Amino acid sequence: MRPAHPTERTVGVDYYVSDADGTGGRLRERDEHFRVRERESFSAEPLDADPSAYPHVVVRATLSGWDTNDFAARLSDALGISRERVSWAGTKDKRAVTTQLFTVRDVDPSDIPSLSAADVELVGRAGRAIQFGDLLGNEFEIVVSEPNSPESARTVRDELAAFGGLGNSATDRRSADARDSAGGDDSGAGDDPTTIGVPNVFGQQRFGSYRPITHEVGLAIVGRDWEGAVMTYLGDPHESEPAETREARKFVAETRDWQGALDRFPGHLRYERSLLHALAESGGPADESTYRDALDRFPSNLRRLFVHAAQSYAFNRILSERLAAGLPFDRPVEGDVACFADRDGPDDLAVPDTDRQQRVSGRRVESIARHCERGRAFVTAPLVGTETELGEGEPGAIERSVLDDLGLSPGDFDLPGAYHSSGTRRAILVRTELSLDHDPLTLSFSLPSGSYATVVLREFLKTDPVDLG
């Protein structure tokens, strides 16, 4: 292991599990250098199926330079319908080429328009809208531009294969040696696919790539510190922000002059301005009720995001402590809680089903370890909430120590409305079959829904996480 980048440590990610130097380089020099294709569990009937039984038209869109929300809005505008009639399974970034399914309710297939930088294919009809639960995972093909040390990629790959528990045998080492001998330079054909494993941490974008404070807002909310939550969001200037924004944040933190701050905050910071408007309209000194009412103006999905970020931060901290303690990620120890793979998942993409959990007692350690080795089970850690059960033994001690340090307990998440969370558990290791090409340096792999491409990429590039977003 080696220490993580300082920015990652602020969100609970303390280590790289590969010791090798990174390749360096940049991502997303062009949209086509970051390709993402969704894998969904969603079936469609033929286009000529009865519209009364199958009112949703299913399309597959390949988008270049489109944010998913923006494309949905543009599609609905072109059709002259409400945006609420367009649905999708996962939100994708703008700076990429992305392929995903959309459903559009109560339209004629012939009315689906052509849009700039969008290749839209009619797939069929469905009886319901596609939704988040239909997303199994994503396939990635990512080009690294101008890497400083592209030769490091193979070493990192082999270290990650060992960490994932599938790269330790003599056979695997001989295969790696033969592979490297066959493709010894860094040009030409790519290497054979290799199964690697990385800690299934939450990537930097979960917390804010340029200003990672989302979890701090969430921790304040869970602690019922509504003033702290609002002022963390409004204040706390970050060096990556423009000088005008930093000065506005400093002003509001020092003065609590809401109207004066409105005159200073840039127009594009619309959520900050929404908070300031609510506080300015309240009249008189703000109290905890005033701060909470202001925060309640945010959309419910954003309010949930704050709490989820707090859970994610605690999860990252737990994984970092497990690494520091030398506990394995690819197999359980006594006291762990494991979950099993989704029976309905594809054969080549192991998808954890956290509803199927098993406490790992001493007599079950070996049997669960065999399931983990075959990709049929996963060791988990808590995304703590009201119904979360913690582990026992050394894993449980780590979980409780981190929660104690953060001042958290499951009951703290018994919050009103969108802030409430019952919690769950999440696999601590994500495995993927990774292919390397070397001219240019290209990484191809698949991940289950909820896992971040950046958790793989960070191990290879070992650069500022802002450059991975």
| CB crowding 202-229: b at 16 or more within 10 Å, else e | bbbbbbbbebbbbbbbbbbbbeebbbbb
Q: How far apart are CA 452 and CA 462, in angstroms?
A: 15
DSSP run (H or E) holding 306? helix 300-325
Report the 10 Å Cβ neighbour count for 255: 10
Catalytic residue among 93, 225, 257, 467: 93
Q: Which long-range contacts (CB under 8 A, 24 or more apart) does 400-405 make?
A: 401/321, 402/314, 402/317, 402/318, 402/321, 403/314, 405/317
Q: How crowded is the C-beta side of 331, counted as CA atoms within 13 Å?
A: 15
126 to each of 46, 53, 108, how far by Cα in Å? 9, 8, 13
Residues forming a β-bridge with 197: 431
Query: Tokens 């980048």 label which residue?
Result: 5
Q: How far apart are CA 342 and CA 395, in angstroms?
A: 24
Residue 144 tokens, joined = 């690294």
Active site residue 106: no
| CB crowding 339-361: b at 16 or more within 10 Å, else e | bbbbeebeeebbbbbbeeebebe
Active site residues: 93
